[in-house]
Chains A and B, each alone.
Chain A
Amino acid sequence: MARRHDIGQAGWGQSVLAFAVGIVYFFPVLWIILTAFKTRPDALATPPKLFFTPTLDNFRAVFFRQSSTGGGGEATDFVLYFFNSIFIAGTAVLLAVIIGTLAAYAFSRHPLRGNDTYLFIILTTRMMPPIIVIIPIFLMFRVTGLAGGYWGILLLYTAFNIPFSIWLVKSFFDELNPEIEDAARMDGATDWRVFFGVCLPQVVAGLAATFVFGLILTWNEFLFALLLTGVETRTVPVAMARTLGGNVGADYGLLAAIVTLFLIPIFFVTFLLQNQLLRGVTFGTVKK
């Protein structure tokens, strides 16, 4: 643990460079955020405006349809879309982490015959292009009536996060010292207790990494959401694409406001779990 944080101190030159690079790299995102506070003429001004009088109209327009008379207007469905995105991505990733953890524990502690073959097939399902299965899934959902409901898309996203969860969590279980578990068993702990009381507490950081990485990938999923969600279950990326509508006269201020609002939750979750992400991204192949 100590070694991980024991990295050298940068000179002031590198600090300044890192600061500059960070800002430049972030600039396209910053511009989106600025656009969210611009009026329509400002958003499409030539030359582009860096300084302008900020307005909250776009954020208001996300939630309330503007009527031509300038009144408050009726509410749009964006509260629902935000709820859908948070509910669907959050639940699916959580389910995947739970199911994945159970399987990972089995693969790590009670290997089956052909363990590695199973693991390989499981990983392949994650690597395959989603476009291959989209037609059968589309037909399947139409036949079973899963299309447009919460269950279908929830199960689908869960399935897409399971392979990754298994692989990652397994790598954390593999690293644990088995002697601690054996000692617990000697003391009469049941398998159940060994799993919940001894193993799980040691891999909490790994579960957090799995969760945040899965969330980043699921949060923005577009293709399946486009084809399989209905009016009631539409997620924000789909709603965003629909807001775009025709290419002529797209309301960039409104879109920017949606993008900005949609970025906030995932940004904070990532920020809180930033240290875990470093491990998640390497599929747990980097030791502590």
Chain B
Amino acid sequence: MADAASLPDASGGTTPAPAGHPAGGDSGGGILAWLTSPERRGPLLVAPAIIVLFVMNIFPLLWSFGLSFFNYRANRQTEPDFVGFRNFERVLTDDDVWERFQTTALIVGSSVLLQLIIGFLLALLFARQFPMRRILMMLVLTPMMLSFVSVGVFFKLYYEPTFGLVSYVVNVFTDTPFALLSTAEGALAGIIIADAWMWSPFVMLLVLAGLVSVPKYLYEAAEIDRASPWRRFSTITFPYIKSLLLLAVLFRTIETFKIFDIIYIITNGGPGTATESIAVNIYRVAFQNFRTSQSAALGYIILFIVIVLTNLYLYSVNRRQQETI
């Protein structure tokens, strides 16, 4: 505010406001002058973003919140009736829902852990200069650019028992037929591998950003002190990438928590409901069973979890910023 206030005449040349009307306050200088006065510059610039976000995100979100207190089905003409917290009650006491949460937690935990390990190793590999580094890094980044649909479809093909690539390789070593997606554990593993493959490059980019920011003189000093590689890693490298790793964990956790497309395509939640994540469950409840309100209630429980995670995420971003300043 301070810098805007110190420049009361700055807007004079920027707007077609009639001359002689110093833009400011409640003078009757026409609506344009009123709008473009320095005090309103902030709100004016933010307005388009807020309007779009309100119409497309916040309003539907509130609508959805309202729906969760009614008994409403999107495919029926009947009037929705108010049921209070009953949808939340029903969702929270439903054993199936808890099972979906466990499935989601298992997928999130394993996939994010795998992404961290693979992404970290990839970053170590790419932290130095070598011939063709730029193009090789592009190759590693490509999975991120594929759509979930294509990753889903082709991983499903790779896992296919008779002509799948993975099954073929496994069959070279074992004689038993390999049908990964037919068992609950196998199907989960199949999804986790596909997801981790797709998003490890993202973690790599984050870790790489940290690795590259380590000042070189620290390593030189360590060399003079004859520090062991492990000591060099734990006292120099790790402190620099620690908060970025946390950032990676949180961001990937929030994203993986919403995992939908890839499951929808590879297993559609099966076999049975073994791989049905919360998001897939909401989709099924909303668009196959048409229990619109119940799905909204379930959605809000997820939103709550995501808000908690977002807070953690912001906390780590802030800390990172303080460290680098």
Contacts and interface: CB of A to CB of B under 8 A. Distances in A.
Interface of A: 3-4, 6-10, 14-15, 17-19, 21-23, 25-26, 28-29, 31-32, 35, 44-48, 99-100, 102-103, 105-107, 109-112, 118, 120-125, 127-140, 155-156, 158-160, 162-163, 166, 178, 182, 185, 190-193, 216, 219-220, 222-223, 236-237, 240-241, 244, 250, 252, 255-256, 259, 262-263, 266-267, 270-271, 274, 277-279, 281-283, 285-287
Interface in B228-268: 244, 247, 254, 257-258, 260-261, 265
B195 to A, nearest CB: 13
B45 A105 contact: yes
B10 A123 contact: no
Interface stretch (B24-32, B84-92, B95-103, B136-144): B136-144
Q: Report whether over half of chain A's contact residues are helix, strand or loop; otherwise say mixed.
A: helix
A78 B286 CA distance: 30
Interface stretch (B61-69, B106-114, B184-192): B61-69
Q: Give the 3 A-B CB pairs with smallest separation, nearest first.
A: A110-B42, A159-B56, A220-B147
Interface in B291-320: 292, 295-296, 299-300, 302-303, 306-307, 309-310, 313-314, 317, 320
A124 B258 contact: no
Contact of A48 (B126, B165, B295): B165
Contacts of A286: 209-210, 213, 244, 324
Contacts of A156: 56
B49 A100 contact: yes
Nearest to B197: A28
A18 B130 contact: yes
A15 B263 CA distance: 36
Contact of B279 (A131, A220, A222, A278): A131
A99 B49 contact: yes
B153 A244 contact: yes
B258 A28 contact: no
A255 B206 CA distance: 32
A222 B254 CA distance: 18
Contacts of B210: 286
B146 to A, nearest CB: 7
Contacts of B244: 282, 285-286
B317 A132 contact: no
Nearest to A98: B48
Contacts of A26: 139-140, 142
B192 to A, nearest CB: 15
A128 B61 contact: yes
B53 A162 contact: yes
B212 A4 contact: yes
B179 interface: no
A130 B45 contact: no
Given A46-B162, A191-B11, A110 B306 contact: no
B145 interface: yes
B10 A191 contact: yes
Contacts of B11: 190-191
A122 B53 contact: yes
A137 B107 CA distance: 28
A287 B313 CA distance: 18
Given A7-B212, A26-B142, A192-B13, A129 B303 contact: yes
Which of B45, B49, B50, B321 has the most CB atoms of chain A within a 10 A radius of its CB?
A: B49
B288 to A, nearest CB: 13
A19 B146 CA distance: 21
A175 to B, nearest CB: 10
A132 B205 contact: no
B21 to A, nearest CB: 16
Contacts of B286: 131, 134-135
A125 to B, nearest CB: 4
B174 interface: no
A233 B312 CA distance: 38
A160 B60 CA distance: 13
Contact of B213 (A22, A131, A219, A287): A287
Contacts of B128: 7-10, 14
